[in-house]
Amino acid sequence: MKFLSILLISSLCLFSIISAEKPVEEEDVLVLTTANFEEAIADNKYLLVEFYAPWCGHCKSLAPEYAKAAGSLKASESAVRLAKVDATIESALGEQFKIKGYPTLKFFIDGQPSDYSGGRTADEIVAWVTKKSGPAAVTLTSVNELTKLQEDNQVAVVGLFKNLESDAAKAFNTVAQSTDNVVFGVSSEQALFDELKFTGDSGLVLFKKFDEGRNDLFEGELTVESMKTFIHANQLALVTEFNQETAQKIFGGDIKVHNLLFASKKADATKGQLAEFTEAAKGFKGKSIFVLIDTDVAENERVMEFFGLKQADAPTIRLISLGQEMTKFKPEFTEITVEAVTTFVSSFFDGSLKPHLLTQDLPEDWNAQPVKVLVGSNFNEIARDTTKTVLVEFYAPWCGHCKQLAPIYDALAEKFADKEEFVVAKMDSTLNELEDIKIQSFPTIKLFPKGSNEVIDYSGERTLEAMSKFLESHGKTGNKAEEEPEDDEDDEEEEEENVKEEL
């Protein structure tokens, strides 16, 4: 009987192994399902998994680069494999890993997931997973290996150290481990010192397939901070065109001051303007990133809206600072020259440049409905009227949460319409900005209680009952923060809630 039980268990196990669904491959990318996911995780120590939706535009843009990266890794016999999951079909996997937007990439090491934070080109994907699955810097033993590193990557950083145990070499390794989207190589071979014409005991070379092609940092300057600054200053082109692939590098780096040229690439005048803009950029390497935003690209319309621009406004320049508070600046000049751009950006750094605040014209019917319409010009007059308690919703027309709130907010205004001491108002924060109030997400609701200069943020439930208590009590009750339910809207609206992410 015992023998029969063992035989039955063995047969069941064998049947399970035979019947398990093996992942198929599409362009070297493993196609995973709920049935084969665990097996794929078990079979691959390192696995990058893309959770996607077939209808998602960003996923479609990523697909060829993702396949190219998968093929490159497979051809090099890397231990890293790339896989994908259609999360609209394999919803259980999407729920398991809390996928809220597309594409979402997770990197699994021995079955343990972490968030992917690299870029979206093949080179950047390969560089990121290679670094996460092995040494932060590839050891180079010959000139041929150095040449191949240069040829295979848009940007590559090489550290040369006579002593690989020196403080400078250790600092280099720290920088390599903490810097994504850049491939690092390291060597102590004299042949490489000779090839790169380095005569000291250590040095750093950044190779790139654009602009001047090479930048050097010499010994005596090799600290973690100096190397990071050097890499951040030189890894991007003097002018980087904004698109899905470059967005991470532009807005995810340590340089938070960005000078943006909005222009049509196909316009005859743009070539000369871009040349002037690029020449000016040379004076601000490491301090400001210069960016071209092609106004002919449909996907860039949202960025233009964010700055209150229309296609007819191009060519024009805007500077944005993404420090603790996001601030925009508009130049006075219209002709784009090296001198004009240099003076404009320099005035930001010397503190003489004044912020540019968007504002709409005041609508004639701003006071016609229970919800009063505020713009930049009438905000202080209405919201800061200390004889009244004023509730203001700062919203974006495209925000899904704002649309959901609208009927509740209208009902709230109706309820208090006959009570003179209360005002319910709203302001479109995509077209109106205030110097002393910075809005980072939508909707943001603030109360300006009467008889006070205090401003109270509302973080309670977005229900008529809760908001009524909050307003009627002049902000003293009804503001208990509640955990909001997860939103089922698509990832685009979810990302749009945060203004910095929108950029």
Annotation marks residue 13 as catalytic: no
Report how far residue 159's alpha carbon sits from residue 222's, in angstroms, rounded to the nearest whole number: 10
The residue annotated as part of the active site, out of 32, 56, 263, 281, is 56
The residue annotated as part of the active site, out of 69, 358, 382, 399, is 399
CB of 488 closer than 8 Å to CB of 99: no
Annotation marks residue 402 as catalytic: yes
The residue annotated as part of the active site, out of 217, 382, 402, 466, is 402
Give the count of beta carbons closer than 10 Å to the beta carbon of residue 75: 9
Q: Measured at the alpha carbon of residue 484, what is the angle toward residues 448 and 469, in degrees to the nearest 5?
A: 40
Task: Look up residue 208 and give its amino acid.
Answer: K
Query: Shortest CA distance to 149 belongs to which of 178, 179, 129, 126?
Result: 126
- Which residues are 156's β-sheet partners? 183, 207
Quick one: tokens of 126? 């390969």
CB of 280 closer than 8 Å to CB of 345: yes
- The DSSP output letter for 487 is P
Report how far residue 384's alpha carbon sits from residue 418's, in angstroms, rounded to the nearest whole number: 20
The residue annotated as part of the active site, out of 47, 59, 205, 382, is 59
Annotation marks residue 59 as catalytic: yes
The residues, ordered by sequence, that sit 6+ positions from 86 with a Cβ below 8 Å of its Cβ are 52, 53, 54
3-state DSSP call for residue 448?
strand
Query: Shortest CA distance to 97 belongs to which of 89, 84, 105?
Result: 105
Task: Look up residue 303 and give its amino acid.
Answer: V
Active-site amino acid positions: 56, 59, 399, 402
